[in-house]
Amino acid sequence: MALPASRRSGDNKRARLGVFTGYLVAGLGAFLGAALLIISLLRPETFAGLRSMAADLASPAGEVGAAGRVGSQNVFEAIAGYYRAGSRNAELQREVRIARVKAAEAQALERENARLKAVLNLAEGETKPVAVARLIGSTSSSARRFAYISAGREDGVRPGMPVSSPLGLIGRVLEVGRRSSRVLLLTDSESMVPVRRATDDVVAFAEGRADGSLRLRLINLGINPIKLGDVFVTSGAGGLFRPGTAVALAMEITKDGAIAQLLSNPAATDVVLVEPIWQPAAIAVIQAPSIAEAEEQLAEEDEEPAADPAATPAIATE
């Protein structure tokens, strides 16, 4: 197609000026974008309010769509899920899968109980979920892995709370809007969860890999004790996640751990539970100023000795 008439400015001075202004404004727009990008990379929380406001506005549409999504694994199966005839079969399969995970979780709980009773003589009650919500969307084209859920500040959701499905842990709340919130999925490369093997005390960190799997890194290096098919559950270290929630299944053994598959594939999840932060101490750590800010404060206060004995662990403050 030839240039549109408005672009052939020729001798017309006014038209030339218009074209020039267009370039100028577009260039300024690009510069503004670059500046905003640098700001949000340095301080990721700067525009959280704007984002959660937009998410609140769009969430009703997402909820309608989420109601139609049924047990499915990935994008293509999600589309196929709408037309699936043998839904009965899928339902049975899912029940078996839930049962298998529950068995592993129960095993882990048993051990946990025995250990707590033996060592601490501590009775831990069942935690009641803060809210029940729908997974209404995820950033499916970005390299980051965030999801949106249909519960927000009004439902009692706060940043840092773990989000789980009947099949296991999904992630934790990152930003909270009025009626919706943004969840950092376990597969995001910034997510890190302390885990242990369900059957014994092999501890590791589960790091997200952006391709949908997790990387398990053992804390005690040496001979790698992980075997294919080992189930890993949260260990409770760091205080955010209740111990004994199923997380991942080892699929491939590496030198310092394993590559693991997520047990609760968020694609197959409809309703999720938002649970309270397990240890109240972790809440204090989350609300405390970051290490850099604390150091600044200390520098200002000069002679004051370091006040916080629970030196902020990297997991809790992110």
Partner 1 sequence: MERLNPRSRSDPFGSRINRRSSRALAYGLPWLSIMVGSLAPWLPVIAPAPVLPPFGFLMLLAWRFVRPGLLPLWAGLPLGLFDDLFSGQPLGSGILLFSLALLVVELVEIRFPWRSFLLDWLLALPLLLFYLAVAALFSGAALTMVQLKAVLPQLLLSIILFPIISRMVAVLDRLRLMRVRRLG
Q: Which of 16, 17, 49, 58 binds partner 1 (CB under 8 A)?
A: 58
The CA-to-CA distance between both ends of the chain, in Å, stands at 52
> Smallest distance, Å, CB 240 to partner 1?
19
Q: Which amino acid is at 61?
A: A
> Smallest distance, Å, CB 33 to partner 1?
3
Q: Considering only residues 121-160, where is the footprint of partner 1 by CB under 8 A?
A: 135-148
Task: Give the range of 27-35, 88-96, 245-253, 276-284 binding partner 1 by CB under 8 A.
Answer: 27-35
Task: Give the range of 41-49, 101-109, 287-295, 303-311 binding partner 1 by CB under 8 A.
Answer: 41-49
3-class DSSP state for residue 310?
Answer: coil
- Cα(41)–Cα(254) distance, rounded to whole angstroms? 32
> Smallest distance, Å, CB 215 to partner 1?
9
- Cα(190)–Cα(210) distance, rounded to whole angstroms? 9
Give DSSP secondary structure letters for 192-247: EEEEEESSS--EEEEEE-TTSEEEEEESS-SS----TT-EEEE--TTSSSPTT-EE
Q: Which of 10, 11, 23, 314 binds partner 1 (CB under 8 A)?
A: 23
Task: Give the range of 19-27, 110-118, 237-245, 277-285 binding partner 1 by CB under 8 A.
Answer: 19-27
Task: Give the range of 109-117, 119-127, 195-203, 208-216 binding partner 1 by CB under 8 A.
Answer: 208-216
Q: Tokens in use for 26?
A: 């577009």
225 is an interface residue for partner 1 by CB under 8 A: no
Residues 6 or more apart from 167 whose CB is under 8 A from it?
97, 98, 101, 246, 263, 264, 265, 268, 269
Question: Whose Cβ is closer to partner 1: residue 262's or residue 283's?
Answer: 262
Q: What is the dihedral of CA 99, 105, 106, 108, to 10 degrees?
A: 150
- Cα(191)–Cα(139) distance, rounded to whole angstroms? 15
What residues line the site for partner 1 (CB under 8 A)? 1-4, 6-7, 22-23, 25-27, 29-30, 32-41, 44, 46-47, 50-51, 54-55, 58-59, 61-62, 65-66, 68-69, 74-75, 78-79, 135-148, 185, 187-190, 209-212, 262, 265-267, 269
